[in-house]
Amino acid sequence: MTDSGNQPAATGTARRGRPSAPFLNVALILDTAMAIIERDGPDALTFRRLGTELGADHSSVLRRFGSKDDLLLALAARLMEEALEGFVPEPDWRETLASLARRTRAACRAHPGVAVLVAARTSRRAAEFQGADIVIGALLKAGLRGREAASYYRALVDTALALSTYEASVSLLDEQAREGDHQAWQREYLAASPKKYPHLASVAHHLADIDAEDQFETTIGLFIDAVEARARRARDRSDA
């Protein structure tokens, strides 16, 4: 988490009544950046726009974040901070992995524009390290070791973020496009020719019932099952 987010606000102001730089702590800047993205889209986020929204010169924002990339990495960390807030690993490693994946999804759903913009980034900040430690700890508890534990950590994080960001991107579509895609499962897929697509036709009537919740839980469940199977195989090899 960002230490400078706890800095007290200064009472002084710069020229033309704009707040002085100490007033602009990191937490306030990130809150404002997230609000801009969610309201007006990722392209609206600029240092000048941040300065305008904060009532300060944009150079004051630049003194907190040396570049836009640095700002984006901080936003990525903010998403993870939100996902981890109050999180305590479960006694069962399976529940730890599933719960953290769900929290990641919830943070991305709460801030879809931010998620689409930064979820693919590696923030290299405390929240990311904390999340990594929790996930790897669960994988070690499952019985994975060394490179296999590292590989599964990377794969699980990428899977959870990919699912969550995909869902976030869908929510950002205009209503007509989103509804058209949703209705396709009940129209075009049901109307697909059984002669031409026999396998599809055999399950087409189920496709409309599968929602984002089902997709997320199914995918995370498959991943956790794979971890368990791999760990069991490793134990069998060591016992042989």
Task: Evaluate whether the domain defined by 79-172+210-239 bears CATH number 3.40.50.300.
Answer: no
Residue ranges of the domains in the chain? 3-66, 79-172+210-239
CA 157, 161, 162, 163 torsion-angle sign: positive
Identify the residue whose tokens are 């801009």.
36
Tokens of 161: 């973020």
Q: pTM here?
A: 0.84
Provide the residue-wise pLDDT of the chain in tens; the chain has 240 residues: 444 444 333 333 444 445 444 467 899 999 999 999 999 999 999 999 999 999 988 888 888 898 999 999 999 999 999 999 999 999 999 999 999 999 999 999 999 999 999 999 999 999 999 999 999 999 999 999 999 999 999 999 999 999 999 999 999 999 999 999 999 998 999 999 999 999 999 999 999 899 999 999 999 999 999 999 999 887 777 776
CA dihedral 12, 13, 14, 18 (to 10 degrees): 160
